[in-house]
């Protein structure tokens, strides 16, 4: 049975009496259904918003020059994310970047208005850099086959990447970088979820840290 409604209940029960904006990080390796889960969770939480951290990626050319992939801190605009997290906690709106996968850069912006529950959707959302500003951390894991197939569907069918490029990205991002930079944050998560091949999540661990 999918556990997303139960996750929403846990968050509501924990924070409903607080009036300040709440930040919920949704992390885990690429291809584990973070965005799908974040959208569904947002739909179950009244007065909520999703901040997609993929929009804070450095330009593709910059990442290529550095030789880094998504989970690497230097592949992301970490300072800008931090600045916008401060805005969220203060209840102040801001212009968030909008990344264009075809252009390989964020060429436009859109206004983000903080809500009661603010979901940070992205691999780096649970990183130590942002821990001070995150009220509740969710870590989603899945079988590597699910992660790979998710990338194939998204990057080949939706973004027009070649299968070879998808495999290279998977090897470097999911199997090399994320275990080094992202996986250690699992131990600090309040909830550990498992995503199956149908993108349904079940609760593996629930704890206070």
Q: What is the pLDDT of residues 6-33, one digit of tens each?
A: 999 999 999 989 999 999 999 999 999 9
| Contacting residues for 112 by C-beta, under 8 A, at least 6 apart | 49, 51, 84, 88, 93, 94, 95, 96
The pLDDT of residue 139: 98
The pLDDT of residue 156: 67
| Contacting residues for 21 by C-beta, under 8 A, at least 6 apart | 88, 89, 90, 91, 114, 115, 116, 118
Residue 1: which pLDDT band, with cuts at 50, 70 and 90? very low
Structure tokens at 123: 């691999």
The C-alpha atoms of residue 186 and residue 126 are separated, in whole angstroms, by: 8
Q: What DSSP line would sit under 18-84, residue for residue? A: --S-EEEEEE-STTS-HHHHHHHHHHHSSSEEEEEGGGGBPPHHHHHHHT--TTSGGGB-HHHHHHH
Calculate the CA dihedral of residues 204, 70, 37, 12 and round it to 10 degrees: 70
| Contacting residues for 153 by C-beta, under 8 A, at least 6 apart | none
Q: What is the pLDDT of residues 118-156, one digit of tens each?
A: 999 999 999 999 999 999 999 999 999 999 888 887 776
Residue, of 87 and 145, whose pLDDT is higher? 87
| Full set of structural domains in the chain with CATH | 4-206 (3.40.50.300)
The pLDDT of residue 125: 98
Q: CB neighbours (10 Å) of residue 29?
A: 25
């Amino acid at each position: 049975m999918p556990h997303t409604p139960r996750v929403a209940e846990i968050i509501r029960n924990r924070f409903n009496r607080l009036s300040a904006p709440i930040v919920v990080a949704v992390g885990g390796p690429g291809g584990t259904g973070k965005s799908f889960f974040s959208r569904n969770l947002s739909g179950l939480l009244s007065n909520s918003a999703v901040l997609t951290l993929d929009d804070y990626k450095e330009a593709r050319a910059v990442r290529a020059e550095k030789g880094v992939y998504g989970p690497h801190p230097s592949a992301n605009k970490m300072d800008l994310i931090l600045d916008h997290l401060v805005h969220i906690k203060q209840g102040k709106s801001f212009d968030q970047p909008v990344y264009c996968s075809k252009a390989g850069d964020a060429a436009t912006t859109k206004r983000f208005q903080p809500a009661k529950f603010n979901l940070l959707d992205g691999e780096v959302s649970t990183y130590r850099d942002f821990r001070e500003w995150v009220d509740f951390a969710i870590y989603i894991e899945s079988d590597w086959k699910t992660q790979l197939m998710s990338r194939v569907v998204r990057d080949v069918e939706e973004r027009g990447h070649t299968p070879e490029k998808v495999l290279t990205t998977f090897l470097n991002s999911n199997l090399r970088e994320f275990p080094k930079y992202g996986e250690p944050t699992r131990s600090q998560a309040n909830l550990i979820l498992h995503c199956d091949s149908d993108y349904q999540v079940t609760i593996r661990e629930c704890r206070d840290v």
